[in-house]
Amino acid sequence: MPEQETLHRIILIDDEPDILEIASLCLETVGKIRVSARSSARGIVEFIDRIRPDLILLDVMMPEIDGPTALTHMRADPRFDHIPIVFMTARIQPEEVREYIEMGAIGVVGKPFDPMGISDELKRLWSESRASGSVALSAVG
Amino acid sequence: MSDSFDAETEEMERMFEEVRQRFIQSLDERMKNTEAAVARAVGDGEAAADGVERGYKELHTFCGMAGMVGFADLGSMARAALNVLSPARREKRGLEPAEVNQFQIPYQRLKAGIEGAVGR
């Protein structure tokens, strides 16, 4: 299988509709990334199975199932435990970021994010994650 | 490329303006929800801890949205209020009286900031 060179498709989950709208538009328009967006992490595993994303951008603070809980669900399924996850949150103190990384996220995007820069940031995190070998190449896509 | 780029840029600007207007329209309700939550957050028990959680959530969302729609200063003010709620949220408890007083300082700053920014 030829090595995938760029980030093509992501899942974006955030309970705030305006954030979903802005982020989706920026990622698709500026980054040319296909975005499958939803407002809840409920049924996340089934959604991943259907979409097969290269990366998941996940809000930390959501009702019902928060980002860290959703991450735990994904990591418990060996089919999807390799997919890189980036958290999105307004809380980006160094100790908080360290906690998210220790949970298994490859990075954190702070809110508010730079609408014109978020695509490059995700592509950078995704590339670094692949370079470090934390992503199983054959299992993506 | 430039035609398509211009159209995409215009579309983004239009959408940002729509979201910005929706955010401005939502300010009264966001502040009302925050105040109601913090009013319940005083003291002991699950209801107080839940009040902290709800107030935190409102301000957390506010922080994220404000900066993206051109109100970075309001986002910083909301973050200062959020920081006061953080210890109680982490410890899953209600606010102590001193914390309520402490919360009022950045919160009143935020209200004044909103008044100055959008006239309400």
Query: Could you report how far apart the first and last alpha carbons of chain B are, in Å?
Result: 43
Position B56 confidence tier, pLDDT thresholds 50, 70, 90: very high
- To the nearest whole percent, how much of chain B has pLDDT over 70? 97
Q: Are B24 and B31 in contact (CB under 8 A)?
A: no
* Cα of B108 to nearest chain A Cα, Å: 21
Residue with more model confidence, B103 or B3 = B103
Mean pLDDT for each 10-residue chunk of chain A (141 residues)? 78 93 91 95 92 96 91 91 93 88 94 89 94 49 25
Sheet holding A85-89, edge to edge: A34-38, A9-13, A55-59, A85-89, A107-110
CB contact under 8 A, A22 and B61: no
- What pLDDT shows up at residue A2? 54
- Is B61 part of the contact surface with chain A (CB cutoff 8 Å)? yes
Could you name the CATH architecture of B2-118? Up-down Bundle (1.20)
- What pLDDT shows up at residue A132? 81
Interface test with B, best of A14, A18, A61, A88 (most B CBs within 10 A): A18
Q: Which of A21, A91, A113 sits opposite B19 (nearest CB)?
A: A21
Q: CB contacts < 8 Å between A and B, how many?
A: 56
Residues contacting residue A79 through CB under 8 Å, at least 6 positions apart: A49, A139
Q: Which of A19, A61, A113 sits opposite B57 (nearest CB)?
A: A61
- Is B13 part of the contact surface with chain A (CB cutoff 8 Å)? no
Alpha helix locations (H) across A52-139? 67-75, 94-103, 118-131
Bin A64: left if φ > 0, else alpha if -120 < ψ < 50, else beta.
left
pTM of the model: 0.81
CB contact under 8 A, B15 and A25: yes
- Read off the amino acid at residue A36: S
- What pLDDT shows up at residue B32? 97
CB contact under 8 A, B68 and A22: yes
CB contact under 8 A, B68 and A113: yes
- Give the span between the Cα atoms of A106 and A133, in whole angstroms: 12
- What pLDDT shows up at residue B67? 87
Residue A38 host element (H or E): strand A34-38
- What pLDDT shows up at residue B2? 64
For tokens 């913090």, what's the residue?
B38
CB contact under 8 A, A115 and B8: no
* Nearest C-alpha in B relative to A32: B8
Give how far Cα A103 sits from Cα of A86, A106, B66, Å: 11, 9, 28
- Is B82 part of the contact surface with chain A (CB cutoff 8 Å)? yes
CB contact under 8 A, A19 and B64: yes
Q: Which of A26, A29, A111 sits opposite B64 (nearest CB)?
A: A111
Which DSSP state fits B56? H
Q: What's chain B's average pLDDT?
A: 91
- What pLDDT shows up at residue A139? 29
Give how far Cα A141 sits from Cα of A38, A83, A131, A135, Å: 20, 10, 17, 12
Residue B46 has pLDDT above 90, yes or no: yes
- Give the span between the Cα atoms of A55 and A82, in whole angstroms: 10
- Is A51 part of the contact surface with chain B (CB cutoff 8 Å)? no
